[in-house]
Amino acid sequence: MNLAEQLPVLPVIIPLVAAPITLLLPQGRAPHLWATLISWLTFAACIFLVSAVSDAGVISYHLGGWVPPLGIEYRIDLANALVLALVSGIASVVFAFAYRSVRVEVDPRQSTFFYCAMLICLTGLLGVTITGDAFNVFVFLEISSLSTYALIAMGANRDRRALTAAFNYLVMGTIGATFFVIGIGLLYQATGTLNMADLHDRLAGQSNRMVEAGFAFIVVGIGLKLAMFPLHLWLPNAYTYAPSAVSAFIAATATKVAVYVLIRFFYSVFGFDFGFVAFAFTYVLLPLGLAGMFIASLVALFQDDVKRMLAYSSVAQIGYMLLGLSFATVEGLTASLVHILNHALMKGALFMAVACVVFRTGSHSLQAFAGLAKRMPVTTWAFILSGLSLIGVPLTVGFISKWYLLTAAFAAGHGYAAFLIVASSLIALVYIGRVAEMMLLREAPSEGPYAIPIKEAPLSMLIPMWVLVAANIYFGVRTDLTGDLATRAAEALMLVAGGAP
């Protein structure tokens, strides 16, 4: 067997094997360099997978040579190949960024454990995305979640509230995982298989109480994991009190992977022949997506903590993804996939900019941003450009997301939704504008905790941050790269699902 034949399993194997090796390294720079190298190797493997799937179609890898449905299958199509590239790409940037930030925010005695947990979290997220086995989704979800609980708790070195946030996330995450695994168990009881493709075939035309209950449990369980409004209550504290590098990583990846899982089960497992899918689109995802867009944005408007503001913004942005999904059209699904990719770029860059401010000021309070345009101009413009992308200004990825969503809304006959998308974007303009006004127009405080000489963040943090800022602009101009791949992925998923409900 050559290495190319093993390519589908490498994104999981590389970080999984590397994680325990991290614990054997001496404290200091070595664990960071090792984890960063592994993240780059993983990203390279995922890019090769995207290329292979784009050229050759769906790839099926049988673990241990056991043929599915008895064996576990890794199944890669364009949809999850894009998510794999997204998660590994964000990891490769955040890992490179993390060293100086982690030195300040995490207990030095925990540094090796920190990078080990980050690699385990990366393993779990990639495993969730790549597997074609429903129970394996649960296993990898728990691998990523358990490591995330520990990573959030490491923020206690700066703020003890991180421990409460981690515990709250643990309780809510466990409830979500329990609901999800109960749903999987009910589907297994009804069909006798756990392979997703086989589940799709056996569920065709089958609708009974057990399958319907399984579907409901899965939707609620994944809804908790992806922070669907109003199941989002764990997210604001988790993002706020986690170490800044962790906030940047999980905000850009974890909820996006959960949205992908929801898409995968709707389209590749149940399909449109299952009546409850149409019901869920119309009466669950559509109203909750719209509610999340507005309510979370309004709450973000009144936050005096910038990390908490961005956390509520993430809940609102998840509402956009669910809204596109609820249209049950190729255009809507394309819009959701595009926004999964684009939101990761913009939110990763925003949280990195906040991390730079925390590194120099020791705070993510809104007051700490006063007058930063003169003291930290490079960080200031990174935040503002990423914020403009979040709002949806032309020539940024945020505009592309809004354009696809507006097009999908009109195509699906939901003109009112298009109006609401624009209105919620105006709310984002206000809360991003509050921070920009503090940075550009306010004078630096002359007294108090923030009246200290501040210089720009180190290059080891600025360069990775600006890589993501540049990606916000580049993919906002070169729309064919993400847009065309997302359209092809959506058409393939729609074909599997059996057309519009």
| Summary mean pLDDT of the chain | 86
Read off the pLDDT of each residue in 21-40 and give the average, rounded to a whole number. Answer: 89
Confidence of residue 303 (pLDDT cuts 50, 70, 90): confident
Predicted confidence at residue 449, as pLDDT, reads 60
For the question of whether the overall pTM of this predicted structure is more than 0.75, the answer is yes
The HSE-up count of residue 320 (CA atoms within 13 Å, CB side) is 36
Percent of the chain with pLDDT over 70: 96
The Cα-based distances of 129 to 74, 78, 79, 257 in angstroms read: 9, 11, 9, 7
Greater model confidence, 71 or 151: 151
Span 312-324, pLDDT tens digits: 999 999 999 999 8
8 Å CB contact between 346 and 92: no
8 Å CB contact between 373 and 439: yes
8 Å CB contact between 239 and 311: yes
- Terminus-to-terminus CA distance in the chain, angstroms? 43
Q: How many residues does the chain have?
A: 501
Confidence of residue 501 (pLDDT cuts 50, 70, 90): very low
Percent of the chain with pLDDT over 90: 27
Alpha helix segments (H runs only) across 73-110: 78-105
8 Å CB contact between 482 and 338: yes
Predicted confidence at residue 92, as pLDDT, reads 92
Span 50-59, pLDDT tens digits: 888 888 778 8
Predicted confidence at residue 184, as pLDDT, reads 92
Predicted confidence at residue 4, as pLDDT, reads 61
8 Å CB contact between 267 and 327: no
Q: Which residues touch 193 (CB under 8 Å, ≥6 apart)?
A: 69, 199, 202
Confidence of residue 233 (pLDDT cuts 50, 70, 90): confident
> 418 pLDDT exceeds 60?
yes
CA distance 3 to 45: 11
Predicted confidence at residue 452, as pLDDT, reads 61
> 204 pLDDT exceeds 90?
no
Beta bridge partners of 195: 133
Predicted confidence at residue 41, as pLDDT, reads 92
Confidence of residue 229 (pLDDT cuts 50, 70, 90): confident
- Spans of all domains in the chain: 291-501
Span 70-85, pLDDT tens digits: 788 888 888 888 899 9
Predicted confidence at residue 330, as pLDDT, reads 87
Question: What phi and psi, each to the nearest 5 degrees, are found at residue 453?
Answer: -60, 125
Confidence of residue 95 (pLDDT cuts 50, 70, 90): very high
Read off the pLDDT of each residue in 178-182 and give the average, rounded to a whole number. Answer: 93
Read off the pLDDT of each residue in 85-105 and give the average, rounded to a whole number. Answer: 90
CA distance 152 to 343: 21
> 40 pLDDT exceeds 50?
yes
Predicted confidence at residue 127, as pLDDT, reads 92
Greater model confidence, 273 or 431: 431
